């Protein structure tokens, strides 16, 4: 980690408010410890499991000596109502936001049937994409009001280079038919969403980044491998020999987030701290618009949802017309 750390000058987040999802394990836990040490006004850990959230506070305290600037708030990405309630509480009680780290993620366990949320979406699809789409949209006005030329606000979306294997199938959009490719498809959706978000946020001093933290040793990776066939398990274990620590992955996220002058090509997608071109599908403007509109309609079919940024959206289309 030393050489990676030497490339990075710790930022000063005095007076700034930060939200991190998925901060109870792996990269997210390390990310929370780093951010807490940068002296933010408030760091909110949005967690599904409060006991694990409290354990993260202890971890931060052991790393930094204190966690007085960190709060644990309840939010379950597998429940759209929980996401909406979190956002509404945040807007009412805090009302300013400078950094949103959409770090939480889920992967389907191979050889198991797809699992649905209470909203009747496949859980990986909802956790990795739809709920993060919802959370981000609900907080966009707060981000825009908090942004300035001196400190542009940022939405940081933890992603994967495996998004290059993804496809967008509007006939099997939320993964009810098969769990096989759900993960890579949601990662492609995430990069598309991040790019489209930047188009809609031009002139607002808010920027969206999609970042691959690298191959990281984590408990999630171990659980994902548990039920795989022998040959795939062996290949996975060999790959893990080259995996990096969660701290290394966190720095791979933080360096593009805070380093100045790294956004050269307009892709705003990063691997190994370098801006690189994502899958060509992620740059398809027509596909991005269709994905956004489709996502809006899916949310409106489940909850009372009023997107805060709809200048490009045609919210009155039907699901049938979007499939054409």
Q: Which residues are catalytic?
A: 183
Whether 94 and 73 have beta carbons less than 8 Å apart is answered as no
Residue 26, sorted as left (phi over 0), alpha (psi -120 to 50) or beta, turns out to be left
How far apart CA 279 and CA 225 sit, in angstroms, is 26
Phi, psi of 227 (to 5 degrees): -105, 15
- For 166, counting Cβ atoms within 10 Å of its Cβ (0-12 exposed, 13-18 middle, 19+ buried), the class is buried
How far apart CA 186 and CA 124 sit, in angstroms, is 8
Torsion angle, alpha carbons of 196, 198, 201, 203, to 10: -140
Phi, psi of 47 (to 5 degrees): -130, 150
How far apart CA 156 and CA 19 sit, in angstroms, is 10
How far apart CA 108 and CA 123 sit, in angstroms, is 8
How far apart CA 162 and CA 164 sit, in angstroms, is 5
- Give the H or E element holding residue 73: strand 70-74
Of 29, 37, 26, 30, nearest to 68 (Cα)?
Answer: 37
Task: Please list, in sequence order, all residues whose beta carbon lies within 8 angstroms of the beta carbon of residue 49, skipping any fewer than 6 positions away.
Answer: 24
């Amino acid at each position: 980690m030393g050489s990676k750390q030497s490339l990075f000058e710790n930022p000063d987040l005095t007076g700034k408010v930060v939200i991190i999802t998925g901060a109870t394990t792996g990269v997210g836990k390390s990310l929370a410890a780093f951010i807490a040490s940068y002296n933010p006004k408030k760091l909110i850990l949005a967690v599904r499991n409060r006991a694990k959230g409290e354990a993260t506070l202890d971890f931060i305290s052991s790393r930094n000596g204190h966690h007085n600037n960190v709060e644990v708030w309840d939010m379950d990405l597998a429940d759209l109502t929980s996401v909406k309630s979190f956002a509404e509480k945040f807007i009412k009680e805090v009302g300013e936001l400078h950094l949103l780290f959409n770090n939480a993620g889920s992967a389907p366990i191979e050889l198991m049937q797809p699992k649905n949320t209470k909203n009747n979406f496949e859980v990986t699809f909802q956790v990795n994409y739809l709920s993060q789409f919802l959370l981000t949209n609900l907080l966009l006005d707060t981000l825009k009001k908090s942004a300035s030329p001196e400190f542009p606000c940022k939405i940081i979306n933890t992603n994967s280079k495996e998004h290059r294997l993804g496809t967008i199938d509007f006939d099997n959009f939320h993964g009810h038919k098969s769990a096989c490719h759900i993960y890579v498809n949601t990662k492609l959706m995430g990069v598309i969403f991040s790019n489209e978000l930047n188009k809609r946020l031009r002139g607002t001093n808010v920027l969206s980044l999609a970042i691959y933290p690298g191959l990281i040793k984590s408990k999630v990776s171990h659980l994902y491998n548990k039920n795989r066939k022998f040959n795939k398990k062996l290949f996975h274990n060999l790959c893990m020999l080259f995996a990096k620590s969660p701290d290394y992955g966190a720095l791979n996220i933080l360096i593009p987030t805070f380093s100045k002058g790294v956004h050269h090509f307009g892709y705003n997608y990063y691997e190994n701290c370098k801006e690189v071109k994502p899958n060509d599908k992620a740059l398809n403007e027509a596909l991005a618009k269709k994905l956004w509109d489709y996502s809006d309609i899916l949310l409106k079919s489940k909850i009372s949802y009023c997107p805060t940024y709809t200048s490009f959206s045609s919210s009155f289309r039907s699901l049938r017309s979007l499939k054409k």
